């Protein structure tokens, strides 16, 4: 929990830097609110028993509840940068070593409102880069694609409209499965024409940077499709802003990125760890090594953040607004950090380090005589001066036991008293991190100067 709290503080600091305000939503929603929003993954929603006329479900993510909140309060919150850290629930098969659980935290940042095209989208990706850099997860890359380009590509290849979402869900598995298995799912399970599947396979092999936009722009067949053309123009604008934000080197334009959720309407993105010596070492300790790309030889080591634009989701709940008007629709774009996977990476990085679980700065120690009340008085004085302090609750604790408590909880300083110190009106302040014999007893300080000395040593 100490590492997790530190991680949350780091993420919040980035979110606040970009003007985010936080909200909270209920852990459960009406079942109808969540139904039909997650494609094939809807089977993972936890449904609750009918408790007297209302069928509810545990929230699957933080995005749909946020959209419902906007639909109900759209007049007040036409424009909002919101972040939310909270637990979500999925009826999945747990895999602890992969950071996949049935109950886990998500950290979301969303920008709601109508703005210049791709401006908030670029800032969201910038936030993702800043968060993952600040968390020091190792080498990462953010894959981006556009839903309209993807839909246009499917249409050009001959995918029937009613199969676009199921086929999109299959393509989304490209980072976990080899192409032949994805093709088999499209053809054998979802009834797609094999020739159509092969055309899709040609397109989704493309990935690169800004140059891929210009390459695809020369594909006359693709550009004849209005949706694909609109999506590609949006990607051209995105890369322009990515250069301004200096995040272009961290971005990979990848046509195999599909994102299976039904509510995405524009840009989509997914952050992955990529090959490096450190990441390989961490993965060898239990994280899953996923399918590698034959073109750039990057080893994809799992999604650690993802998101996209969802311009129509709030409108689905328009009837929940105060006047029930479709005008309640509010365009949105957001990102969700996969904190459980990031957490498992950070824990592996720090497994050989000492982790300080508490914030205690000073331990009050007595020599020989117990001096319980005197220790309590000093602790109270420290607390009153906003210094985090503890002492042992025993009447006559052993000296070594008190030293051990400091070592165990990584407490940096101690205030040591005995009968001699009380009579002289002094205390001894000892740096518990210093194991030199010369400093074994600490430095004598007048009791009246104790707080000042501690503040200087703690740099308060």
- Residue 392's pLDDT is what? 95
Q: Where are the alpha helices (DSSP H) in 204-290?
A: 210-217, 220-223, 226-244, 277-284
How far is it, in rounded angstroms, from Cα 153 to Cα 143?
A: 18
| Closest C-alpha to 86, from 60, 111, 110, 112 | 60
pTM: 0.82
**CA within 13 Å, CB half, 96:** 1
Question: Which CATH superfamily hosts domain 362-457?
Answer: Anticodon-binding domain (3.40.50.800)
- Residue 319's pLDDT is what? 54
How far is it, in rounded angstroms, from Cα 396 to Cα 374?
A: 12
Binding residues for L-histidine, by number, are: 61-63, 90, 106, 110, 259, 263-264
- Residue 298's pLDDT is what? 38
Per-residue pLDDT of the chain (460 residues; tens, 9 = 90+): 888 899 999 999 999 999 999 999 999 888 888 877 776 677 888 888 877 778 899 998 999 899 999 988 888 888 999 999 999 999 887 776 665 788 989 999 999 999 999 999 999 999 999 999 999 998 999 999 999 999 999 889 988 888 888 888 888 888 778 888 888 888 888 888 889 888 888 888 888 889 999 999 998 998 999 999 999 999 999 999 999 999 999 999 998 898 766 788 999 999 999 865 555 554 444 443 333 333 333 334 568 999 999 998 888 876 544 444 445 689 999 999 988 888 888 888 776 566 778 899 999 999 988 999 999 999 999 999 999 999 999 999 999 999 999 999 999 999 999 999 999 999 999 999 887 756 667 899 999 999 999 999 998 6
- Residue 292's pLDDT is what? 37
How far is it, in rounded angstroms, from Cα 147 to Cα 168?
A: 10
Q: How many CB atoms lie within 10 A of CB 316?
A: 18
What ranges do the domains of the chain cover? 2-352, 362-457
Binding residues, by number, are: 61-63, 90, 106, 110, 259, 263-264
Beta strand pairing call for 28-30 and 21-22: unpaired
Beta strand pairing call for 103-112 and 332-337: antiparallel
How far is it, in rounded angstroms, from Cα 312 to Cα 67?
A: 9
CATH code: domain 2-352 is 3.30.930.10
């Amino acid at each position: 929990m100490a590492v997790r709290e530190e991680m949350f503080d780091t993420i919040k600091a980035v979110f606040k830097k970009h003007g985010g305000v936080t909200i909270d939503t209920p852990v459960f929603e009406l079942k109808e609110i969540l139904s039909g929003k997650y494609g094939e993954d809807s089977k993972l929603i936890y449904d609750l028993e009918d408790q007297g006329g209302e069928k509810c479900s545990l929230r699957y993510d933080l995005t749909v509840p946020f959209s419902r909140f906007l639909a109900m309060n759209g007049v007040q919150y036409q424009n909002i940068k919101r972040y939310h850290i909270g637990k979500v629930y999925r009826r999945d098969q747990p895999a602890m070593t992969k950071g996949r659980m049935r109950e886990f935290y998500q950290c979301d940042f969303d920008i709601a409102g109508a703005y210049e095209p791709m401006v908030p989208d670029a800032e969201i990706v910038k936030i993702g880069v800043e968060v993952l850099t600040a968390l020091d997860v190792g080498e990462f890359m953010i894959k981006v694609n556009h839903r309209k380009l993807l839909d246009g590509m499917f249409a050009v290849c001959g995918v029937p409209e009613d199969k676009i979402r199921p086929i999109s869900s299959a393509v989304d598995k490209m980072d976990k499965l080899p192409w032949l298995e994805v093709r088999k799912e499209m053809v054998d399970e979802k009834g797609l024409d094999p020739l159509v599947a092969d055309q899709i396979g040609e397109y989704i092999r493309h990935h690169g940077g800004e140059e891929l936009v210009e390459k695809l722009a020369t594909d006359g067949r693709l550009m004849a499709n209005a949706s694909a053309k609109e999506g590609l123009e949006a990607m051209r604008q995105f890369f322009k802003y990515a250069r301004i934000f200096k995040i272009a080197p961290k971005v990979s334009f990848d046509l195999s990125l599909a994102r299976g959720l039904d509510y995405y309407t524009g840009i989509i993105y997914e952050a992955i760890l990529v090959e490096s010596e450190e990441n390989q070492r961490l993965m060898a300790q239990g994280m899953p090594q996923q399918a590698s790309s034959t073109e750039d030889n990057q080893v994809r080591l799992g999604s650690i953040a993802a998101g996209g634009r969802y311009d129509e989701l709030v409108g689905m709940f328009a009837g929940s607004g105060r006047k029930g008007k479709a005008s309640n629709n509010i365009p949105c774009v957001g990102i969700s950090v996969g904190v459980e996977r990031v957490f498992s990476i950070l824990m592996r990085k720090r497994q050989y380090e000492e982790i300080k679980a508490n914030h205690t700065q000073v331990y009050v120690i007595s020599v020989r005589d117990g001096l319980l009340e005197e220790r309590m008085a000093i602790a109270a004085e420290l607390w009153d001066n906003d210094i985090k302090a503890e002492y042992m609750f025993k009447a006559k604790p052993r000296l070594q036991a008190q030293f051990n408590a400091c070592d165990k909880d990584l407490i940096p300083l101690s205030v040591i008293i005995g009968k001699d110190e009380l009579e002289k009106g002094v205390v001894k302040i000892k740096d518990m991190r210093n194991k030199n014999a010369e400093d074994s007893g600490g430095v004598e300080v007048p009791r009246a100067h104790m707080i000042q000395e501690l503040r200087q040593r703690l740099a308060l």
